[in-house]
Amino acid sequence: MKKKPPFILHLLFTIYAWIVGLFFLFYFFFIGFPLSILRGYNNNYPLLRKLIQVFAFFFSPIRISYHPDFDPKAPYLLVQNHVNILDAFLAAKISPNAICGIMHKWQFSIPVYGWLMSMSKGIPVDPKRIDNFERMSQIAAQRKDEGYSIISFPEGGRSLNGSLKPFKKGIFLTAQKSGYPIVPIATKGNFYINRKGSYMMWPHPIEVQVGKPRIIPQDLTRAEFEKFIADIRNEMDAFIQNHE
């Protein structure tokens, strides 16, 4: 159990962090967004990634370990544990290749945020559509052909205690159908920077393990498919639990 920082210092750092974060969003929307329209998101991604590294983590050193088989230029479907609102920024720090996200359709209607997700080639999820899975897989295959990696959070929501939640199967089915290699990304330490239900921020070191890329064979039985998911989850969980 981590000791809580003094409240006044915690509050002051939180105010500072949000001011810096708002400055970053201002730059992203008024400069990064127009540049992405003019030059294309893929071409503008290296600049955006550098800005994220400067602003997003507020004195929190990040140590990333990449599997030798990981190709920084290849498109992957990245599966990452989810603990706070900074996880997507962390994914951009991790992935040298331009990334897009998979998110609920309603999120594209949020002012500013929705526009940014559309600009970055986000893939909408609409559970009300009968053809939702087929449509997701088709768009994912298109993103793969365009050279984008996809960031996903297979838990389906943020963890309340930093531990790994059960995985949902949808993203793995999408990877199988679209031909994306799966890359597990396990992160540790970002839970102490911010957590679900709180706006407070505090610096903390982050450790990241980027795993071996894996293709999901098309001919897996149901049991083999579930074992594939379980193996990915167990690998991520082992890293998280061993770095408490």
Q: List pLDDT tens digits, range 58-114.
A: 788 899 999 999 999 999 999 999 999 889 889 999 999 999 988 888 888 887 677
Res 1: pLDDT: 58
Residue 1 lies in a domain: no
Tell whether the model's pLDDT for residue 55 goes beyond 60. no
User: Is 226 domain-assigned?
Assistant: yes
Q: Residue 179 and residue 202: Cα distance in Å, rounded?
A: 39
Domain containing 121 equals 7-242
pLDDT in tens, 173-190: 999 999 999 999 999 999
Q: Is residue 213 part of a domain?
A: yes
Residue 202 sits in a domain of what CATH number?
A: 3.40.1130.10
Return the ∠ at Cα 109 (arms to 107 and 114), rounded to 5°.
65
Query: What percentage of the chain reaches a pLDDT higher than 90?
Result: 58
Contacts 24+ apart (CB under 8 A), 49-53: 49/92, 49/93, 49/96, 51/24, 51/27, 52/24, 52/89, 52/92, 52/93, 53/93
- Domain assignment of residue 93, yes or no: yes
Q: What pTM does this model have?
A: 0.89
Compute the mean pLDDT over every residue in the chain, rounded to the nearest whole number: 89
pLDDT attached to residue 8: 96
Residue 2 included in any domain: no
232 token code pair: 């990915």
Is 163 part of any domain?
Answer: yes
pLDDT at 54 over 80: no
Q: How many domains does the chain contain in total?
A: 1
The verdict on residue 144 lying in a domain is: yes
- The C-alpha atoms of residue 115 and residue 3 are separated, in whole angstroms, by 39
| Residue 151: closest CA among 218, 67, 90, 238 | 90
- Do 208 and 57 contact (CB within 8 A), yes or no? no
